[in-house]
Amino acid sequence: EFEDAGEGTAISMMADAFEELSDLIKNGNKNDELRLKVFCDACSLVSVLFGSLGLAFKFAEMEYTSKVRDLADAAEIYGTLSRVIDCDVKTDTVKSAESLTRKLRRVRQGLDLIRELFQNFLSTDDYSLKEAASSAYKQVCAPYHTWAVRTAVSAGMCALPTRDQLLLNLNETDESVEIEMRRYIKASLPVIKYIDNLYTARGITLDW
Ligand code: 1PZ
């Protein structure tokens, strides 16, 4: 399903992009300077994963990609992630329905969901994709979702492919997927922490 474009598999491209982001954060981004454009480019690579999950997660894909797109569209105006939040703080719209700071928070939750899912997936061969995904969702996103959304997601989980089918869809083997997932897990953590810090440094809690 996923076409190998000659630059590696979907997961390896995601891992590459997040390693670059985490390097940027480590080297000289101490002053909140991560560029929104660079961040959104990395986040949009995640969309390729959705194609490997089947139709049940079409709505999750649309939800995630539209938020990344809205952030990307604002990249020229705002420049950096920190400016987005500063502007919403100023206008008191941090948590407002269509605010970019809210969209950034949701995209961050998506990145964390994938990290948790990969971690579960690798923790034991006996874990089905459905179990790995359900438990990741329960931990990372469910607390912030409405009952209706949680119900739809748990219905969708039943339609997830098997482990083996997922590997086929992603063009990975047991060995290669472990390497790539571990790279993403390691590289996404500093990025997630960096985003969380942008909020907490401005006195915004992370309980939403
Ligand atoms: C192999 C991977 C299997 C993973 C399956 C995970 C399924 C997660 C499904 C999430 C569905 C979200 C549906 C809509 C949620 C919205 O209510 C919220 C709040 O939006 P707001 O009110 O702020 O406008 N939206 C979100 O939380 C953003 C969506 C994040 C989900 C991204 C998932 C990305 C990872 C999928 C792996 C490919």
Structural domains of the chain ordered from first start: 10-199 (1.10.3520.10)
Query: Is the pLDDT assigned to residue 20 strictly greater than 60?
Result: yes
pLDDT score for 1: 45
d(CA 179, CA 171): 13
To test the ligand 1 pocket, which listed residue (149, 170, 206) has its Cβ within 8 A of the most ligand atoms?
Answer: 149
Closest ligand 1 atom to Cα of 49: 38
Query: Is the pLDDT assigned to residue 46 strictly greater than 80?
Result: yes
For residue 80, give the 3-state DSSP assignment: strand
CA atoms within 13 A on the CB side of 192: 19
Tens digits of per-residue pLDDT, 81-111?
A: 999 999 999 999 999 999 999 999 999 999 9
Assess whether the C-beta atom of 2 lies below 6 angstroms from ligand 1: no
d(CA 162, CA 154): 16
Give me ligand 1 centre to Cα 148, in Å.
13
Assess whether the C-beta atom of 106 lies below 6 angstroms from ligand 1: yes
Q: Which residues are registered as beta bridge partners of 80?
A: 35
Tokens 């990307």 appear where?
72
Q: What's the ipTM? A: 0.90
pLDDT score for 189: 98
